[in-house]
Structure 1
Amino acid sequence: MSPTIRARRGARLSVVVLVLLTLAGAYCFGVFERLAEPKILAEGLVAMGAWGYLAFILAYTVLQPFGVPGTIFIVAAPLIWPWRTAFALSMIGTMGASVVGFSFARFVAKDWVSKRIPARLRKYDESLDHAAFRTVVVLRLIFWMPQVLHAFLGVSRVGFWTHFWGSLIGYVPPLLLVSYLGSEMFDASGRFQTDAWPILAGLLVASLLVAALARAHERRRPSGEPRDA
């Protein structure tokens, strides 16, 4: 085995160990208990004052790709901060988590992850080959930020920047809506309110509009234009 291959395997193993230690540390210090529901998370972040911004982004970025639901963070944000701040922090945290999940699947555990991608996502492989940007936008609009979607896009052939910008655009409608109308969609405990269905209908319309714009963008691209790596 060449030194280069050994170095790469060593680096990958180090990353895996670091992830496991981070998750173990979060468990030992009771982080997962505080993340049990948005209300508990909100109370903890409020108690931290200005440091709550950084704690929110770091916790979201590091923990969401490896099992913690992202909805806990984006629901908690508007319970704490004004909607503009909640939207900015939710977007930064969501993009950070997406990049970490994508990169972990592509550069660290690609073979292991690839074997565990469900068939319901594999059906989008052909779409990613022919209309990568639009497909990423639509997938983010539909599924948001589940860990398995990070992994699927990471092991696919879609370029990093196509994934980055497609995810960014796909996240805008749902995150903006939850940040702006979070208090009307969720109660103080972070539970969905039944009279918020019209808001979800508006989100669906906005999502379809963004998907249509992404499709128009793909059609305007020259057919021979190379993709990013």
Structure 2
Amino acid sequence: MRSLRSARLGAIVLVLLTLAGAYHLGFFARVAEPKILAETLVEMGAWGHLVFILAYTVLQPFGVPGTIFIVAAPLIWPWPTAFTLSMIGTMAASVVGFSFARFVAKDWVSARIPDRFRKYDASLERSAFQTVVVLRLILWMPQALHAFFGVSKVGFWTHFWGSFVGYVPPLLLVSYLGSEMFDASGRIQPGAWPILAGLLVASLLIAVLARAHGRRRSSARLSDAQRLV
């Protein structure tokens, strides 16, 4: 018990030191907006790929918006490279946020989960994978959602693969159409609204279909159970 407590304390101290170091080295200023981040990564040449993933992994779970990174990526690299790096960084950040909430500071994090996420507890118990996919597809990567999944009963790999599937459409869209959707400062361009509206409609349609499928499965299981009685 004491060793577990020491490990958690060590992890918290490591996180705080990492964030303090990032602040001291000016990383927070460099990720203030996509244009600044893009210019910084271009200056690093081939090292920019690694720095992008590491910065995304370390900073996003603890406050830096993930959109800064996924908007910056297509400003620098061809869309396949931007999509690949964005997916790696987003998944890594999600795992860090999930793991911190589950294994390091569960009680502290649980008390601070927004009420709007608590209503999904029942859905996670009924159909965890589908719920993770839908929430990631619609809400993307807010830190509070990482934390909510971390303190929930959803399994690590269910969260991992559900997040992966849910992230593919929005990250692919931003990587492929990034320059048409956002300017260099990360502001949404007028032409992006129809694209975002289409993504929202598609996401809601998928959510409705997934919920209907989950209800059919639950009804089928209930019918089978009643026949066995």
Q: Do both share a fold (TM > 0.5)?
A: yes
State the distance in 2 between where 1:135 and 1:223 align.
19
The corresponding residue for 1:120 is 116
SS of match in other structure, 2:191: helix
The corresponding residue for 2:84 is 88
The corresponding residue for 2:225 is none
The corresponding residue for 1:144 is 140
Q: Measured at CA, do residues 210 and 82 of structure 1 come closer, stay the same or move farther in structure 2, by a change above 3 Å? A: farther
SS of match in other structure, 1:175: helix
Deviation string 1:52-106 (CA, Å, 9 cap, x unpaired) is 0000000001110011110100010011100111011000000000000000000
Which of the numbers 172, 175, 180 marks the counterpart of 2:176? 180
Question: Does the 8 Å contact 2:34/2:186 carry over to 1?
Answer: yes
The corresponding residue for 2:19 is 23
Name whichever of 204-213 and 70-79 sits farther off: 204-213
State the distance in 1 between where 2:92 and 2:210 align.
22
Find out whether 1:201 has 2:197 as its counterpart: yes
Q: Measured at CA, do residues 216 and 133 of structure 1 come closer, stay the same or move farther in structure 2, by a change above 3 Å? A: farther
Q: Measured at CA, do residues 127 and 183 of structure 1 come closer, stay the same or move farther in structure 2, by a change above 3 Å? A: same
Question: Does the 8 Å contact 1:65/1:101 carry over to 2?
Answer: yes
Deviation string 1:25-70 (CA, Å, 9 cap, x unpaired) is 0000000001110000000000111110000000001110011110
Aligned-partner residue type, residue 176 of structure 1? L
Deviation string 1:114-160 (CA, Å, 9 cap, x unpaired) is 10111111111111111111111111112110111000000000111
The corresponding residue for 1:160 is 156
The corresponding residue for 1:60 is 56
- Structure 1 position 183, deviation (Å): 0.4
The corresponding residue for 1:45 is 41
Q: Measured at CA, do residues 7 and 130 of structure 1 come closer, stay the same or move farther in structure 2, by a change above 3 Å? A: same
The corresponding residue for 1:189 is 185
State the distance in 2 between where 1:23 and 1:183 align.
30
For structure 1, the residue ranges without an aligned partner over 5 or more in a row are 225-229
State the distance in 1 between where 2:36 and 2:67 align.
14
Question: Does the 8 Å contact 2:97/2:147 carry over to 1?
Answer: yes
State the distance in 1 between where 2:87 and 2:49 align.
12
Which of the numbers 9, 14, 18 marks the counterpart of 1:13? 9
Deviation string 1:146-177 (CA, Å, 9 cap, x unpaired) is 11100000000011111111111111111111
Q: Measured at CA, do residues 125 and 211 of structure 1 come closer, stay the same or move farther in structure 2, by a change above 3 Å? A: same
For structure 2, the residue ranges without an aligned partner over 5 or more in a row are 223-229
TM-score between both structures, scaled by the size of structure 2? 0.91
Q: Which has the larger radius of gyration?
A: 2
Aligned-partner residue type, residue 91 of structure 2? M
Name whichever of 66-75 and 193-202 sits farther off: 193-202
Which of the numbers 103, 107, 110 marks the counterpart of 1:111? 107
Question: Does the 8 Å contact 2:83/2:171 carry over to 1?
Answer: yes
Q: Measured at CA, do residues 193 and 202 of structure 1 come closer, stay the same or move farther in structure 2, by a change above 3 Å? A: same
- Structure 1 position 220, deviation (Å): 6.4
Aligned-partner residue type, residue 81 of structure 2? T
State the distance in 1 between where 2:93 and 2:210 align.
23
The corresponding residue for 2:226 is none
